[in-house]
Every structure is written in structure tokens, then in C-alpha cells.
Structure 1
Amino acid sequence: MNWERLSERPGMDPYLQELALFLDAHFARTFGLLWPENDPAVPRGAGGPPDTALAGYVAAGLTSVLGWKVEHATGARPPSGHVLVIQSAGSSRWTLRSLGDPPAEVPTLSGEALYVPPGYRCSAVHSDDARHVFLVVTGPEE
């Protein structure tokens, strides 16, 4: 990916730039946690509840920036595959397990993003006000 060209795009949402860089760095390697410096610029009236609007905005933006397929996944548990979890409210403590490795404990707070590659099983304990957006990412070679 040509990151110099990406940073020169006028009007590019810095939040989407951060997520794109983060995904490109971690994709198909290991899990990762992002504490973004920016908030997403979800347009007013983006339709649906806030989490649905956020999911649609991020999925469309990352698809455009990366050229990869990014889709919103619904449900209470993360789907399989390459998963980006955006903690939209509250907090969670994720336990990630990969075959042959000890479990990793990863806390997330509102606004943070967690990438979970295939091969990791995960479980979580959530605060009462926790909400998440799950996105499934299909990379260029898949």
C-alpha cells in the first residue's frame, strides 16, 4: 500500500487512515489493539442506530481505502475469519487463544479497535454498557 499517497488525500478521515494502517500492519500476523487518536467522522443522518451507522461508515471507508472487502457482521459473538472489533461503548476484557500459545488478556475501552486473525478463539467479559461493532475483513489474497 502506498501510504505516502494515502496521507496526501485531501479530506480523508484520519480515523479511517489510522484503521487502514493498523489493519495493514497486523493483517494475517497476530492480534492487535489500536487506541486511535481520532474519532470517526460518521456523517449525521447516516441511517439506523449509531452502531449500525458506524459499522457502515467504517466498512465502506476501509473497503475504499484498502481495496479489501470489509463487511459488517451482526451477532453477540465475533464471527470467524479476520475480525475487526470496534468497542463503541463501555469496556471489555478479551481472552484470545491461539493453538500452542498461552492465552492473552486484552482490555478494550470505548473507541478502541481490536484485530483478531483467523486461528484465534476469543471470549470476553463485558461491562453492563458495552457495545461492539464487528467487521469481517477479506484481504487481497483471499
Structure 2
Amino acid sequence: MDWERLSERPGQDPYLQELALFLDAHFARTFGLVWPENEPVVPRGTGGPPDTVLARYVADGLTALLGWRVEHAAGPRPPSGHLLVIQSAGSSRWTLRSSGDPAAEVSTLSGEALYVPPGYRSSAVHSDDARHVVLVVTEAEGAQA
């Protein structure tokens, strides 16, 4: 990935750049947590519930930046694969387990993002006001992780 060229794109949202760098660094390796320094610059006038708008904005932006397929995982069943969880409100305490490793506990606060690669099982305890967006990330064929 040509990060120097990426950072020179005029008008590119720094929030999306941070998430793209974070995903590129952790993809297919291990789970990770990031608290981006920037807030997303979601265009005004975009209709729908705030979490759906955020999910669409981040999915479209990361797809454009990384060339990977990023999709909002809406629905009652937890998805599998490479997951990016963005805590949009409240807090959550996640327990992550991979085969043969001890469980890890990670807390997410509003604004933070958690990457969970395939092979990890997760469970969470959420605050009463917790909301989060779950995105499924699929690396493009032939891309390097």
C-alpha cells in the first residue's frame, strides 16, 4: 500500500486513513484496538439511523482506500471472518479466545475500534447505552496483508 500517496489525497478523511492503517497493520495477524485521533467526517444530509449511516460511510471509505470489500454486518447473527467493531456509544467488555491461547479481555469505549480476525471467538458485556457497528472485511485477491 502506498501510504505516502494516500496521505496526499486532498479532502481524504483522516479518520478513514487511521482505520485503514490500523487494519493494514493487524489484518490476519491478531486482534487490535485503536482509539482514532480524529472523528469521522460523515457528510450532512445522509439519511437513516446514525449507526447505519456511520457503517455505510466507513465501509465505503475503507473499500475505496484499501481496495478490500468492507460491508456492514447488520442482523441478529454474529458474523464470522475479519471483523471491525466500532463502538458508537457506551462501552463494552470483550472476551476474545483463539485456539490454544488464553482468553484476552479488551474494553471498548465510544469512538474506539476493535479488529477481530478469523479464528477468534468473542463474547461481550455491554453497558446499558452501548451501541456498536460491525463491519466484515474481505481482503482483495492478490493483495498483501
TM range (shorter): over 0.9
Query: Displacement of 1:77 after TM fit?
Result: 5.6
Q: TM-score, normalised by structure 1?
A: 0.97
* Structure 1 unaligned spans of 5+: none
Aligned to 2:91: 91
Task: Tell me which residue corresponds to 2:16.
Answer: 16
Instruction: Tell me the number of residue pairs that the alignment of Structure 1 and Structure 2 aligns.
Output: 142
CA–CA distance in structure 2, aligned partners of residues 43 and 78 of structure 1 = 28
Aligned to 2:131: 131
SS at the partner of 1:39?
coil
Q: What CA distance in whole angstroms lies between the structure 1 residues aligned with 2:60 and 2:125?
A: 29
Which string of whole-angstrom CA distances, capped at 9 and with x for unpartnered residues, describes residues 93-131 of structure 1? 000000000000000000000000000000000000000
For 1:109 and 1:95, the matched residues in 2 are separated by: 15
In the TM superposition, what whole-angstrom CA distance separates every residue of 1:8-60 from its partner, at most 9, and x where no partner exists?
Answer: 11100000000000000000000000110000001112110000000000000
Structure 2: stretches of 5+ with no match in the other structure: none
Q: Deviation at 1:78? A: 3.7
For residue 2 of structure 1, what is the aligned residue in structure 2? 2
Q: Which residue of 2 aligns with 1:108?
A: 108
Q: Which residue of 2 aligns with 1:32?
A: 32
Are 2:74 and 1:74 equivalent residues in the alignment?
yes
Shift of 1:76: 4.8
| Separation in structure 2 between the aligned mates of residue 3 and residue 106 of structure 1, nearest angstrom | 28
Letter in 1 for 2:43: P
CA distance in 1, matches of 2:43, 2:32: 27
Percent identity between matched residues is 84
